[in-house]
Structure 1
């Protein structure tokens, strides 16, 4: 659940009137996000994005398989980075400490990138079409966690524990992201660290706020 800042532009060898053609993934993303903000995600078409960038549909599809794919950014590269963070953790670090550290590090952004990432995650978590599209990407993300847990525990990746930790970690991250989007004043890394510590501790550190009647 991380991505780069879609703000880079591309130059042109010839003097042109108006905006130069976009020839980079980041520039296409930036222009698309501007259109999404003005028109709405579902009302914006690939043709709209290509026209804003002054490129052909064919050029658009060189960078992104679809409009939905554009919102996720370079997901495969980001996922590889997450896998590398987990692999680099020393084996003496307890498994859940290592996982928490990798999740937090993976979701740290330069201040200039935070507004763009917030807009990206608002789309991913709030647009129905993108929520449906997220299934395969979430499965890929969980599989990275499950592979790490399997390696640490000596169990098959499709065993219960690796699966369980993968699902629980993803749900924890989504909950933290939803809280972050609901409150502009919160720090994403701190929220994720807190949420992962709660998961790690089994949510056992909270006393009930009301007394429950004894069973008859």
Structure 2
């Protein structure tokens, strides 16, 4: 949120590197301003340095480690009932378990791209690139799934930004009311059967029309 405000007033520019969730909330206002003025390479070095320092402290300080774990638990306890949180992780689980979710469902303006490894993309929603990348990104739909690669030649959204669109907009056409994977599978079968019947009927009518004209 602070980064968005800073960019709006011209203090900060869109950056390819973003601090972790906990680091954002532990920085003072002055540190945030100083951080915002760093260029991308210096910001990356800053994050790596502080990340290594925090990792060392987590390993060496049991009290600090427990406080961080408790903070994480509190965050998930609060967030797990939020609609965008539930949507985000439901989509991630479905896509990770079933590859056809990416390629065979009628997604609307964005399509999920799931990589075998982490890939960095600039999110056009929050104007950040997650350090070390993400395995799941949402690309603005340009047609065939094989037209996507690991470059930033398309517009991408991170999972957090995509889930803010809500169930109706985020889910594929015809699946807006689905909340469970078993229901997703069932709906796909129903829609596939309906489509098959329509295509078969159309072909039959075309054949009959051709025969009648002979």
TM-score range (shorter-chain normalised) is under 0.3
Query: Which protein is richer in helix relative to its size?
Result: 1
Calculate the TM-score normalised by the size of structure 1.
Answer: 0.24
Query: Which protein is richer in strand relative to its size?
Result: 2
Calculate the TM-score normalised by the size of structure 2.
Answer: 0.24
